[in-house]
Structure 1
Amino acid sequence: MDWSGHRRYLPAVGFSLLLLVTSLLPVPEGASEQVPVLLGVALDKWVHAASYGVLAVLLAWGRRARNVVAVAVLVAVSVCYGAGVELLQGLVPSRGTSGADFVANAAGAVLAGLAWLAAHRSGALSDRTDPQSRQ
């Protein structure tokens, strides 16, 4: 088995582990009351969206995904991972599951997937020297 292609997924794996660890750390008491708002949305929701958007892009980069189906599957993986992490947060005493966090995770992953596809359709991210870039 050739593992060289699988190495492209290492950034996504590393980032997903970082998301898991930071999501399961206990939250100091009263910290959720001090969350600033940006454009009418709590800043933590922006962080959720950005984080799962980054995960979706790292997965797409690892897969070298160029078509809608492949990107949609990787976005779904990001969304499911986010749902799993939200469920695990219910086991941490100072945390809990949050539907709003799940929606932010999903929105970030979907928007990042759409941006990935748009960038590749426009040729902004095309790699013509890579024979696998047409996947």
Structure 2
Amino acid sequence: MDRSGFRHYLPAVGFSLLLLVTSLLPIPEGAGEQVPAFLGFALDKWVHAASYGTLAALLAWGRQARDVSTVVALVAVSICYGAGVELLQGLVPSRGVSGADFVANAVGAVLAGLVWIVAHRFGALSDRVDPPSRQ
């Protein structure tokens, strides 16, 4: 991949680093004891789903994925990244590995992948046209 192709992945790379840093920050004592719920799920699960859904969408945008197999692969990358971050949280004293967080990450990534595929099928996402490069 040349440099011009890599720049399309910069939002995904930046966001993945943001996820990593915020996921590995120590949690202050007593924080999160009474997390509010929305539609039967704790608010943090919604944040997990939205975060990894965003990562999957940014990866799909960077790749300009049009076919199902590519989107599935990018969703799998997002899920694996979430699993890795979740395992790393086990090394942070005030954090821990959570299967529920992993499931929320995966659900968000899968839903984003489905939305991406449907949006492409119905023409809601146009093909990106890059400006001509200056030489």
Alignment TM-score, normalising by the size of structure 2: 0.93
| Counterparts of 1:31 and 1:122, CA distance in 2 | 43
| Counterparts of 1:79 and 1:128, CA distance in 2 | 25
| Counterparts of 2:6 and 2:23, CA distance in 1 | 26
Alignment match, 1:56: 56
Letter in 2 for 1:78: S
CA RMSD of aligned residues (A): 1.3
Q: Secondary structure at the match of 1:4?
A: helix
1:116, distance to aligned residue in structure 2 (A): 0.3
Alignment of 1:14 onto 2:44: no
Letter in 2 for 1:75: V
Structure 1 segments of 4 or more deviating over 4 A? none
1:90-133, CA deviations, whole angstroms, 9 ceiling, x for partnerless residues?
00000000000000000000000000000000001122857xxx
Alignment match, 1:107: 107
1:31, distance to aligned residue in structure 2 (A): 1.1
1:29, distance to aligned residue in structure 2 (A): 1.1
* Percent of aligned pairs sharing the same letter: 82
Alignment match, 1:46: 46
Pair 1:129–1:85, CA change in 2 (3 A): closer
Alignment coverage as a number of residue pairs:
130
Pair 1:6–1:129, CA change in 2 (3 A): closer
Alignment match, 1:25: 25
| Counterparts of 1:58 and 1:30, CA distance in 2 | 33
Letter in 2 for 1:89: Q
| Counterparts of 2:88 and 2:79, CA distance in 1 | 14
1:30, distance to aligned residue in structure 2 (A): 1.3
Extract unaligned runs of 5+ from structure 1: 131-135
Alignment match, 2:76: 76
Alignment TM-score, normalising by the size of structure 1: 0.93
Extract unaligned runs of 5+ from structure 2: 131-135
8 Å CA contact 2:64–2:127 kept in 1: the answer is no
